[in-house]
Amino acid sequence: MNIKEKIAFGKINQMRNDTLTSDKIRIGFVGGGPSSFIGYTHRLSARFDNRFNFVSGVFSQEEKKSKEFAISLGIDPNRAYSNYKEMADKECKRNDGVEAVGIMTPSGDHYSIAREFIQNKVHIICDKPLTSSIEDAEKLEKLVEDNKIVFALTHNYSAYPMLREAKKIVENRKIGEVRLINVEYPQGYTAGIKKEEEASTLKWRLDPKMCGPSMILSEIGTHAHHLLRYVTNLEIEEVCAEVKTLSPELSVDDNAFIILRMSNKARGMIWVSSSATGGENGLRIRVFGSQGAIDWLQDEPNILKFTELNKPVQLITRGSSMVSDFSLESSRVAAGHPEGFFEAFANIYTEFAEEINSRKKNIISTPSFPTISDGVKGIKFIFAAKNSSDHNSKWQKI
């Protein structure tokens, strides 16, 4: 009985649920302390479907602050730490220690932090991008594979139900052979920053050790890159890029145009920017094939525009009877009631929990969420694009 039949026969009325068939996963967090938006996001996402118990964390490098914040979250302060090594060490000695850890620090620290937990067989859910160097990325990948760790990277956009519908449409060849791709992510975040505000606004993003060789590619470039690969199931073979600082007030790059040669001879374009004045989070992906096209924009995340050759544009809506099971299973509320950013983020947490439960039962599946391998490819993309730009936009193989 598939999800549509279950809905039709009244077996279920909602799609995702908050009921458990296994124990909740014991999770801890490294990063995301007081006043962190991404901390709230990770925790809310973990609460969404009732899959985790929050048991531990490093919420500050000051022990007192870390413990106080733990209390405010309802976590035992004895399990709040001031550094991740101590946390890994102590938690892993407990019978009821963390089974999973969410990492939301700058990417330059991801490898070192993850390593401590992975060596103790703790599963990892990690903010993007994976690392700030290719070397770290590859070492991390090896660790994850050697230790059979469940590793999720929070490229949350790919978990929007209508992007998953887009993936299915492409996969089922409803648009035929992919020929042309355009992904854009025009933010205006840095357009108004003054030189004297740069440090307080961009913080660690100014430090290549933490952020990698390109601010804009690290911040949103890998989101665009992952989305393109996720939806099309194609790899990028070569890039030709112009990565520049357009605002004279900034010391890091704020715009990238990247032309793409795809594995199947298609051509594509990625444009990411924080200097698109007035832009908020207008992530958009368009894929054109021999028989049709899809078009998705984060500003209207519950709609997918799907066009078949010589037919009208169709507005496929989330949660409707028109979408695939895969998309429906990623939904929570009936068509017409808007879902947003948090639901997509929560999908990754819920699927991460389900994957851990599968592993406990020795079931090997292909996760729907972004994995360590996606993360490594993202870092290689950043370096290739930056390298192309540094060589006057010469084509670079990835």
Q: Are 239 and 385 in contact (CB under 8 A)?
A: yes
The nearest distance, CB 45 to a second copy, in angstroms, is: 11
Residue 327 sits in the site that holds a second copy (CB under 8 A): no
Q: Which of 160, 178, 127 is nearest to 301 (CA)?
A: 160
Measured CA to CA, the distance from residue 391 to residue 398 in angstroms comes to 15
Residue 309 sits in the site that holds a second copy (CB under 8 A): yes
Subset of 200-229 contacting a second copy (CB under 8 A): 200
Measured CA to CA, the distance from residue 29 to residue 26 in angstroms comes to 11
Which of 65, 139, 244, 380 touches a second copy by CB under 8 A? 244
The nearest distance, CB 327 to a second copy, in angstroms, is: 13
Q: Are 375 and 153 in contact (CB under 8 A)?
A: yes
The nearest distance, CB 317 to a second copy, in angstroms, is: 6
Which of 92, 206, 210, 246 touches a second copy by CB under 8 A? 246
Which of 334, 360, 390, 397 touches a second copy by CB under 8 A? 334
The nearest distance, CB 20 to a second copy, in angstroms, is: 5
Subset of 18-77 contacting a second copy (CB under 8 A): 18-21, 24, 34-37, 40-41, 43-44, 47-50, 69, 72-74
Measured CA to CA, the distance from residue 123 to residue 106 in angstroms comes to 19
The nearest distance, CB 24 to a second copy, in angstroms, is: 7
Instruction: Map residues 92-131 to x or -, x wherever contact with a second copy holds by CB under 8 A.
Output: ----------------------------------------
Which residue's entry shows tokens 């920053």?
193
Which of 1, 95, 312, 366 touches a second copy by CB under 8 A? 312
The nearest distance, CB 213 to a second copy, in angstroms, is: 19
Beta carbons within 10 angstroms of residue 245's beta carbon? 16
Cα angle, residue 273 at apex, residues 268 and 275 outer, rounded to 5°: 150
Give the β-pairing of 178-186 and 236-244: unpaired
| Stretch near a second copy under the rule CB under 8 A, chosen from 9-17, 78-86, 144-152, 164-172 | 9-17
Which of 119, 147, 357, 393 touches a second copy by CB under 8 A? 393
Measured CA to CA, the distance from residue 105 to residue 112 in angstroms comes to 11
Q: Are 60 and 133 in contact (CB under 8 A)?
A: no
Instruction: Map residues 263-282 to x or -, x wherever contact with a second copy holds by CB under 8 A.
Output: ---xx-x-x-x-xxxxxxxx
Which of 135, 194, 263, 313 touches a second copy by CB under 8 A? 313
Nearer to a second copy (CB atom), residue 34 or residue 235: 34
Residue 155 sits in the site that holds a second copy (CB under 8 A): no
Q: How many residues bind a second copy (CB under 8 A)?
A: 103
The nearest distance, CB 89 to a second copy, in angstroms, is: 26
The nearest distance, CB 378 to a second copy, in angstroms, is: 20
Can you give the length of the chain in residues? 398
Nearer to a second copy (CB atom), residue 52 or residue 81: 52
Which of 95, 196, 311, 361 touches a second copy by CB under 8 A? 311
